[in-house]
Structure formats: structure tokens, C-alpha cells
Amino acid sequence: MRTVKASRKVKIPKGVTVSAKARNVVVRGERGILRRNFRHLACDIRIQAGYVIVEVWWGNRQANAAVRTVATHIENMMTGVSKGWQYNCRLVYAHFPILTTINDDGTQLTVRNFIGEKYVREVSMREGVTVDRNPKNKEELILIGNDIEKVSQTAADIRTSVLIKNKDIRKFLDGIYVAEKGTIGNTKSVI
């Protein structure tokens, strides 16, 4: 059964401007600009009276579910350009300490001595994402960026670079895990 109209409104915060043309959304804020293309979805995106309105007319279940997804993506973009996103990753090891080095501009992470291996792992940060060491805890990395998808994918890239293979994962729990995530300066624990 089809729904006549499914819609969702997202309030535009102060200091953020949003423009939408032909399902291409551009969000500008004090931290930068984010662009996203929603042309693969058959929905209407318009700006009206301080709100972004996402609508689908005569949509099936899949199209109606996409309305909230698009609205949430736009909301995350607005949060990114106004506050920014932060992921804190914890270095976990039982015996061999994991040694990490960060290049000068924070776009490259090098992991050494993971479970005593001589192999050197290098992870490049996604565009717009920087890595830094937590000044309060040397066993923690901080990933900061405007685009939540790039920040979270960078955390996943770091995690997968140190996956343990050919060993019992119940015993070998070493790795780099996401411990906290949220907006910059306002993270919540995920453990």
C-alpha cells in the first residue's frame, strides 16, 4: 500500500546555511562546507522558513523509509559544519605496547609493534579528518572532522588495520577500538 505523502522537517540552526537544488544539498557553516548528492532517491528536498523539508509523494515502504534517512544525513551535515565530529580510539594491548606515530599535519598514522610484529602498518586519514593524541591519556587517539561518515570510516580503517588473524580472538584482544564518539568536546562512551 502506498502512502500519499511522507515528510520530515529539519530545523536549520543559527550560523548554518543550507541550499538544495535538484537533490544536491550544500551545507555551509563556521567549520566549512559539506556537499551531498541525493539524486539516487526520488524525493523532494526544499528549504522553507528556516527548515529543510524532505518529502515523498505516493511512496512505497522503501521510499518512505528513505525520508528519515535523508533528513538524518542533512542533520548530521549541519552538526558537522557547526560543531564538528570527534571519535576517541583506545589502544588496547596485553603485553606488547602498541606504538603509534602521527605525522606533522595529522593525516597519516603509523602503527608499530602490534602483538610484537615487526610489520609496520600505515593508515591514511580520509579527506578532512585529522588524528591527534589525547593530551590526558597517551593510550588514546582523537579523530576530528566535519563529515561524520569520513570520521567513522577512518576509525574503521584504523580498526581493520590491526585485526588479529590466525589466533583465538577470545584470548588476543589487542587492537585499536572506538571508545567514545560525538561532537567535538561532547563525546559519549560506547563501551
Q: How many residues does the structure list for the chain? A: 191
pLDDT surpasses 90 at 191 = no
pLDDT in tens, 16-54: 999 999 999 999 999 999 999 999 999 999 999 999 999
Q: Which residues of 85-111 are buried (b: 16+ CB within 10 A; e: fewer)?
A: bbbbbbbebeeeebebebeeebeebeb
**Residue pLDDT, tens place only, 138-178:** 999 999 999 999 999 999 999 999 999 999 989 999 999 99
